[in-house]
Structure formats: C-alpha cells, structure tokens
Amino acid sequence: MICKGFPVGDGEESLKEKATKIGIIEVLDCTWHWAMNKSTYLVNAPWRLSPEALQQLARQLAPTGTADYDALMILSMVAATYLSRGILWDQPVPYRHLLYERPQLKMGGASGAHAHQETRNIAQKLVEAEKNIVICWGSQSGTEEGFAHRLAREIGLRFQQTIMTADLSDYDPDSICAIPETKLAIFLLSRYGGGDPSDNTAEFWDWVQKAPEGSLTNLRYCAFGLGNSNYKFYNRVVDVVVQALDQRGAHALLPVGKANDAEGTTQEDFIDWKDDLFAACRAELSFEEGEAQYLPTLAVDEDESLELIDLHHGVPDPRDASGKVSTQCSPVRAVPISSARQLFSTPDRHCLHLDLDLTCQPELTYKTDDHLAIWPGNSDAEVERLLQVLGRADRREVPIVIRSVDAATKVKIPTPTTPAALFRYYLEIGAPVNRDQAFLLRLGQNKAAYADFLRRTHVNLGRLLQLAVPDQTWTQLPLSYRVETMASIQPRYYSISSSSVLSPRKPSITVLVASNSVPENSAKLIHGVTSNYLLALAEHRRDATSGAHPRGLTYYLPGPSDALAGGQVLAHLRKSKFKLPRLASSPLIMVAAGTGLAPFRALIAERRQLQQVGRDIGEMILIFGCRRPDEDSIYREELEALQSTLGDRLRIVTAFSREDVIRLIEEGANVYICERAGMAREVEKTVGRAMRKTKGRNDGEGNDWSKAFKRKGKWQEDVWG
C-alpha cells in the first residue's frame, strides 16, 4: 500500500502515469481524500514495483562503507528481535488471566462462568435472590463483615425474613437508589486509619456524598459504625454516610449505632444496637418474632475420598476483608528469619528484633517505612482444647468440604481442608466469646456482669464449652456454626524497622511479646497470638534442642504441609503512606514510645547514609519514651552511635522540649508519630496548646492551623488501636 500526495486536478489517469515514472506498474482501487491544506489529494492504493525499480532501489540501498554496514547490522538485529516477539521473548503468560479474576468468587462456591454473570445492581440482586433485607458491609480487618453475617443469621432466625449480605464493592453504588421502600438496607461500616473509609467502601463513600438531592426518598435504612475514640475522627465514616443518606431523603429506622474499640466494648456495643434494631423490627416493621431455630448458611461435610494433595492445609487466604487481593499488598510467601535477638534485658518481658531474608523471593520488595505482615498459627493448647471439646480429636485430619447453602453467602475459608487446619490456621479460636453465646442466662442478659466475667477469665470458645459442661464433649454442635460465627484469622502488621537503602533484601521488624495478666488472677495470662508465635520460633531458632517458649506455649513451627521448615514465616508486604519527605534537608520531628521507635530507626539510619555520601540532611529530633529506661530502652547503643555520627543533626530527648518543637515546625519540619492512637492524639493536643500559647492564637485559629498542617502532609501518623 502506498500513500502519496498529488496536486489538485490530477485525475486517476494522471496518477497512473506518474506512478509508472516512479516504478509503480500497477495501481488499483484508489482511495482519494482531501489533505488538510485543501490543495493536495492523498491517495491510498495497492502497488507493485517493476524489476527496474527494484534494481534501482537495491543500488540506492547498497552499503558503501563501515558505517552503512554497522547501521544495516543494527537494523537487522532490531527486525529480528521484533519478529521473534512472542516466540523467543515476551511470550504470553499462560495464567495472566488469573490476575483479573475476583478471588472472592472463586472460593465462594460459584463457578467462574456463573461469577461473571453476577449483577452489580443491588436492587436487582434483591429481587433475583428473593430477599427482603440487605446488609451492606464495609470493612478493612473483617470485623464488620463478621457482624454482617451474624446479624443476617439472627434476623432470619428470629423473624423468618430473607436476608443477603453485600460487600459494598461488589455493587454499583447508584443502584442503591432503586431499592424499593418495601425493603430494608442495613449499613455496617468501619473506619480505616484516622477516619478514612475502608477499601471496599471507597466507591460508595464518594458516590453517596455526590448523589442528587431526593434520590433516596424510597430507601429505608439503619446503620452501625465501628470506630475508636482514641482517634480524632471517631466513627467519622458512619457519621458522614448517615448525614448524606438523610440529606438525600432516606428514612432511618432507628438512630445510628456506634462501637468504641478504645474501651474494648466493640462486641458489647454491637449487641446493644442489635437489640434496639430487633425492637424496631417489631414495632416499626411489624415483624413477628418466632421461635429461633438454627438454619445454617454453610454446610460442612466430611469427604474421605479426597487426597492430601486436594486439601488446603493452612496456607493463608491473601484476600482482604472486601474479598479482593489488595493492590497495596504483595503476595504471601514463605520467608526465612535470618537472625533474631532479644531487646529487653529482663527475663519476664520480651521484645524481639527479627531480620527476615527476601533473597529467595525476588518478587518481594519494600521501601523504608512499609509494613510487614506475619500470618500466625494458633497455639497447640488452644487447637487441642477445641478439637477435644467438640469431639473431633480423632477425626482432626479427615477432609471436610465447606460449601454455601445460600446463594447470598460466600465461603470465607479455603476449602476443602481439615478440622486441624481450620482451627490452627483459618479461625481466630483464641478470641473472647461474645456475650450472646454465654452459657449462663445471667451473663447473657447483663452487659456489666459479662464484661466483668471476661476481665477475670478471658474466655474463648474452647474454655467456655469446658466451663459449661466439664468432662463432656459437644458433638451435637455443628461445625458449620463455628465456621459461620468465628472470625477468620488475620495477619498482624508490623512497621519495618530497617532501611530499604541499607538493607534492601533483609527487612527487620520489632515485636513486643504480649502476655498480660488477667485481673484478679495474676497467674492466668492472655497471650498475644502472633507475638508469642514469633517468640516460640525465635527460641527454637536459637536452640532447636532445648529452646522453648518461656511460658511453655508450643506451636507447630514447620507450618502448613511443613512449608516453613527451617525457621520460616508466612508473610507479605504492604505499602505505607508514612514516608520521608522528598527533600533530605527537611527537618524531622519524630515521636514514639516503646516499639513505636521501629520506623524511626530506619529513617535515621537512612539519613545517616545520605550524610555519609555528602548529602545535606535536615535536623532531627527524636522524642522517645518507655516504661523503664533502664530495662526497656530498645536500640539504646545503636541510637547513641547514630547520634555520635550525626552530631548536631540528631537529638534524642525523653521529655517534651516544646520550644525546640515549635522552632523546627516554623522552619518547615515534618512531624511523624508512631505509637498507639491515644498517644498520638495527646501529642497533637500538646503541640496545639504550645502553638496557641507561643503565637497567641485562639482555639479556632489553632484548629485551622492544625488542619492546614495535615493537609500539606506535614503531620503523619503510623498508629494502631
């Protein structure tokens, strides 16, 4: 095909004549169109060169010197490379399509073909599934998802209503407008970070604040939020959503409910709100309450025909609470622990420094201040207790298949598996039992009495069943009920305490081992799941023969299918918004207590490296506190060495030096806080008071300054609980 310009006025015969002169001997099916300058025709036509034209072209293209030969060789290599694409290189990845699959549908019992036919219209789904109530959940850690499934079961059992649960990200938010007033929508929403919506709520969050006025006049709803009053924006997500719904004409069935994790009453707050909801269902919706009967939404069946190779033995499910693989997280991989050491000097308290080795996992890369997640296993004692009390000890390795018996319910556990793997790797069996599962009527009906009972006993499911009927087994308790009601085990996230510049393949974490005494019974301890798992692993690594957990806890350290033999853990990396400023010359104010020091250890070490290569670095203040400086001051020698090397660029103080802080803020410092949310909030208050006093500002002016400071990214927090 040739595309050539000819002057206006040339006809097809003239075109052929001119084409012959340049060696084109055949022109067919000409396509004419105006060029942009309106004075030239552009002609597209099939063409064929004459032998004379080919010889002339060959003479013109023949190389005449070294440069021509080199150019010809390069062009030949480029052409060969291009032509071999897909054969010798850049071959199609046979499983590339898996990157675009929705894993929550793969494990939910639906076939791939069926999954792609699922509607994203939530109103249409309600009609197709013949449901009267939809419970929409938005969750980052899985708590609200668990509440949603639990609430769906209880409403169905109490009022014989048909209910579906909905991950908010599975549906188009504007389809909520089409939910008729004969239906009821329940929103269970948690906050993420300081007050942002969870990942699977983000699209709905944006839409509901921009939806047209009056677009939700047919919607009946109620809402419950999960938050923490240690954060400044306590339960902001549910507050914003409820306000937006009301402004657009939606009708609330009852006042919004709120849980406060800072008080440790999340479960209790949910139960109280749930009781109010049931009362509203009776009074406002005229629901008739019948005798509650257990109607499972899942079936758990034994299948001894399955082979070991068919089973999931405990490799974690990498999906987040919304049922998707987060773009912020890497794949879950087995990673060796290359070194471990104790940071506390006292034998009764433990803090670990662990170095992990990514050498064998090239796809795992991290940046300074990212997070590293550890997937734990439950202790042998708790696994054995639950297997015994449920009468499953002698059938712990019998294959079980978990399937949904309700189209609106998804299977959260990898299946098929075994009871042993289920209790060791997939369920949070060590968590306290909810009040509505208490074995004494008095405790089940009295919030204060049950809270006091838990403080003195820390009862999990296995211990509760043992207390209720000692020396007997609960063989009639369906395993499906346990899968439905118990939360899935979640990874624990740790701030990486190493610099990716200095140690790109060996990230480190700092782990405080949690073993707290139960009030009124100091001999009884509540053991943190992941931290004690890591302590047992560290002790075994130190001495495989006699190294044992100081509290006598044991874990199956070789891991699922012995995939972790040799001192490995299942881990993944998560990106963080907690980053150094782009300019190394920017001053830094860092505030931490205890293991909150971890990310600042990496920041300081990285700036020392920059200084050693001749870069100008800003002044840094590290404000650090701990319980007992003589025992708990972690990384003391290392920090002293850093301070000696950095000179006046680093100062470490153990008390608030307000004058220095205010001075550095005025010089453009960034403020970084890593610790519990309550401490971060108090730091913010103290700095705010100091700024108001120094600058003579009133409360309103001080709040405006604080908001503007944060909007600029100058105040960052990496906090928890």
Distance (Å) of CA 35 to CA 9, 28, 109:
14, 20, 59
- CA 60, 61, 63, 65 torsion: positive or negative? positive
Where is average pLDDT lowest: 73-77, 375-379, 650-654?
A: 73-77
- Mean per-residue pLDDT for 137-151? 83
Residue 573 has pLDDT above 90, yes or no: yes
Radius of gyration of the chain (CA): 33
pLDDT > 90 fraction of the chain, expressed in percent and rounded: 40
Phi, psi angle pair for 45, to nearest 5°: -150, 145
The strands making up 371-375's β-sheet, listed across from edge to edge, are 492-495, 371-375, 568-574, 333-342, 351-356, 508-512
SS3 202: helix
Q: What is the token pair recorded at 630?
A: 């003589």
Q: pLDDT tens digits, residue range 434-465?
A: 544 433 444 445 555 545 554 555 567 777 77
Q: Where are the domains of the chain?
A: 122-285, 298-326+378-485, 588-719
Candidates 1.20.990.10, 2.40.10.120, 3.40.640.10, 3.40.50.300; correct CATH number of 298-326+378-485? 1.20.990.10
Q: Give dist(CA 433, CA 459) in Å, integer.
A: 6
pLDDT at 580: 72
Where is average pLDDT lowest: 166-180, 463-477, 703-717?
A: 463-477
Q: What angle do CA 585, 586, 588 make, to 5 degrees?
A: 125
Q: What is the mean pLDDT of the chain?
A: 79
Report the top-level CATH class of 588-719. alpha beta
Q: pLDDT tens digits, residue range 255-269?
A: 999 988 777 778 788
Can you say whether residue 130 is alpha, beta or left, with left for phi > 0 and alpha for psi between -120 and 50 degrees? left
Q: pLDDT tens digits, residue range 526-554?
A: 788 999 999 999 999 888 877 789 888 99
Q: What is the token pair recorded at 9?
A: 């006025």
Residue 79 has pLDDT above 80, yes or no: no
Q: What is the token pair recorded at 84?
A: 């071999």
Residue with tokens 């609106």: 408
Q: How confident is the model at residue 570 (pLDDT cuts 50, 70, 90)?
A: very high
Q: What is the token pair recorded at 159?
A: 């009022």
Q: pLDDT tens digits, residue range 595-651?
A: 889 899 999 999 999 999 999 999 999 988 766 666 667 898 999 999 999 999 999
Where is average pLDDT lowest: 15-24, 62-71, 631-640?
A: 15-24
> How would you class 116 by CB atoms within 10 Å of its CB: exposed for 0-12, middle for 13-18, buried for 19 or more?
exposed
Contacts of 510 (CB under 8 A, 6+ apart): 343, 351, 352, 353, 354, 494, 495, 497, 595, 597, 598, 601, 634
Query: Which DSSP category does 178 fall into?
Result: G
- Mean per-residue pLDDT for 411-431? 91
Tell how strand 220-227 and strand 251-252 pair up. parallel
Where is average pLDDT lowest: 68-82, 103-117, 181-195, 657-671?
A: 103-117
Q: Give dist(CA 515, CA 513) in Å, integer.
A: 7
Where is average pLDDT lowest: 235-239, 318-322, 689-693?
A: 318-322
Would you mind telling me the total number of residues written for the chain in this entry? 721
Q: How confident is the model at residue 197 (pLDDT cuts 50, 70, 90)?
A: confident
Question: Domain 122-285, CATH 3.40.50.360 — does that match?
Answer: yes
Where is average pLDDT lowest: 175-184, 355-364, 436-445?
A: 436-445
Where is average pLDDT lowest: 372-376, 512-516, 620-624?
A: 512-516
Same fold: 122-285 with 588-719: yes
> How would you class 629 by CB atoms within 10 Å of its CB: exposed for 0-12, middle for 13-18, buried for 19 or more?
exposed
Residue 377 has pLDDT above 60, yes or no: yes
Residue 338 has pLDDT above 70, yes or no: yes
Residue 6 has pLDDT above 80, yes or no: no
pLDDT at 628: 66
Contacts of 439 (CB under 8 A, 6+ apart): 464, 465, 467, 468
Phi, psi angle pair for 423, to nearest 5°: -80, -25
